Structure formats: structure tokens, C-alpha cells
Amino acid sequence: MFSYRHAFHAGNHADVLKHTTLIAILQYLTQKDAALAVLDTHAGAGLYRLDGDYATTSAEANEGIFRLEGAENLCPLLQDYVDMVAAFNHGTTVKVYPGSPFITQRLLREHDKLKLFELHPTDFRSLSGNIAQLRAGRQVQVLMEDSFDGVKKFLPPPSRRALVLCDPSYELKSDYGRVLDMVTDSLQRFPTGTYAVWYPIIPRQEAHDLPRRLKTLANKAGKSWLNAELTVKSSKITAAMRQGDEKRPGLPASGMFVINPPYVLQDQLKQALPQMAELLQQDSNAGYTLESGGD
């Protein structure tokens, strides 16, 4: 249950999509004076060393954030993302990668609240230590509990404004169903919240069904939705890979499904996704899709 460690994948192409979308949502939601509550369901360690053993083992950042470093003529949203990562580093070389807890906290105001859920014991200890260095006081709360049930007690928030970021590892097939159950329950508790779900695009039926079922859920609830997918390479496994002669491909694509998205998000992603696909492509199968619907 606890084998997944995001430290191996920090700064990869999926993080680029997820964190760029997260920044856009938070920039919009923090424009209103009223307090915002952010619930991060799978927070991880919060900060990651890209020159450490975990990250260098997989070297996935080489195909992600490092490809955007120094890139010219980035659209405003991608430039904001690159600048955010750079803000956690000294000098021009990126050695530290901020996960969603630190990106979020950097964009929140003093009266906003951040709830961080993390069940992995090692990552929970790392997250707690990293957050303690912020001296954020009561603004940030770290919780070692199952977020699929834990978010219930925070919805609706007192301010009636909230973002729920849900990005499990999906190592367990049951996570797909639990994501749907959580979003269904959350929309009933707090219909006007913004819900952002990251998901992998892999050759698994549950993964294929998740965005389709989220669309159905949002449509039935009468809510607007936005679905962005980024593909960087083929997902096909060749005969040589099966025999072990070639390394199997890592994650080929991922998506972000947002319910009640900011009205500006679609135009922002229309600019950002083509640049992501171009800069992060690993073969000729790279591309993107952007769909919207609902209210």
C-alpha cells in the first residue's frame, strides 16, 4: 500500500500539467477577498531534491521541468510555473522542486487555509518537517489520515470557498472508484467548490473510464467542467520491452479534470498545452486535448 513515492517522479511531465493548472486555479480564486480553503488529498513530502537519490534514479525531471528551464517565449501561465519553481531555488539551477503543498502555500493569503493529507509514514514525517520550516502557524494543517473520508469534515468550509486537489498514485485499482465516490459526496456537501482531479492515462480500463465517468457526474450535477490531457509519448509496449531487452516506457500521458473551473482557465490552457506538448514531447505521439462542458 505504501510503495509509491512521488520523489521518484517529481518535476516530470505530469507535474508540469498538474502544477501549471493548480497555479492558474489559485491565481484566480485568490482574487476575491473572502478566505479560501484548499484541501490537498495526497500531499506527498512537499519538497523534493532533484539532485537526490530518488529523483536521479528515474531522472524524470529531465523530461519535465528541466525542458522548460530557459525556454523562450513561454505563455504567461507556463512562465508563472517556471518562475514558481525557480523561487524555491538559489541561482539558475533547479535543485529543489516544490510539490503542490508548497506551491499552494506560496499563493495563499494569510487568512486562507490549507489542509494537507498524507498517509505514507515517511512522506508524512518529511511533509511535517518541511511545513514546520514555513512557520505558517494555523494556516497549514498536516493530517495523517485517509483523505477520501477526511475531506468530508472540511466541506463546506466556513468561508464557502474551497479548492479540492485530488491526485492519488492510483497504485490501487480501488483508487479510481474512491475518487469518484469522494467527488460525488463532495459535490453534495459543497456544490460550488472547485474540484481538480489528476489522473494517469495508461492501458488500464479503470484509467480510461475515470474521465468519462467524471464528465457524467459533472453533467448530472449541472456543473461546468474542463478536461485537459497531455501526451508526451506512445504507451505501446514492444516485444523487446516484454523480453527485457529495452526499458519499459514510463507514464506516457496524464490529465487534469476540473469541476467548477475558473472561467479563464480554458483560455489559459489553450495557450499552455501546445507549448507543453512541443517542449515535453518524447516521440511523435505527443499531443494534447482540451474539452469543456456542463453549465
Is 147 flagged in the annotation as binding?
A: yes
Distance in angstroms (rounded) separating the CA atoms of residues 37 and 49: 28
Is 13 flagged in the annotation as binding?
A: no
Residue 167 annotated in active site: yes
Distance in angstroms (rounded) separating the CA atoms of residues 105 and 52: 24
Is 19 flagged in the annotation as binding?
A: yes
Q: Are strands 162-166 and 37-40 parallel, antiparallel or unpaired?
A: parallel
Distance in angstroms (rounded) separating the CA atoms of residues 172 and 152: 21
Between CA 49 and CA 55, with CA 52 as vertex, the angle to 5 degrees is 80
Q: Give the CA distances from residue 112 to residues 33, 35, 141, 260, in Å, rounded to whole numbers and listed in that order.
A: 10, 5, 12, 19
Q: What is the 3-state secondary structure (H, E, C) of 226-249?
A: EEEEEECCCCCCCHHHHHCCCCCC
Is 33 flagged in the annotation as binding?
A: no
Catalytic residue among 15, 40, 112, 167: 167
Is 42 flagged in the annotation as binding?
A: yes
Is 283 flagged in the annotation as binding?
A: no
Is 60 flagged in the annotation as binding?
A: no
Q: Which residues are annotated as a binding site?
A: 19, 42, 100, 118, 146-147, 167
Q: Which residues are catalytic?
A: 167
Q: Which residues are annotated as a binding site for S-adenosyl-L-methionine?
A: 19, 42, 100, 118, 146-147, 167
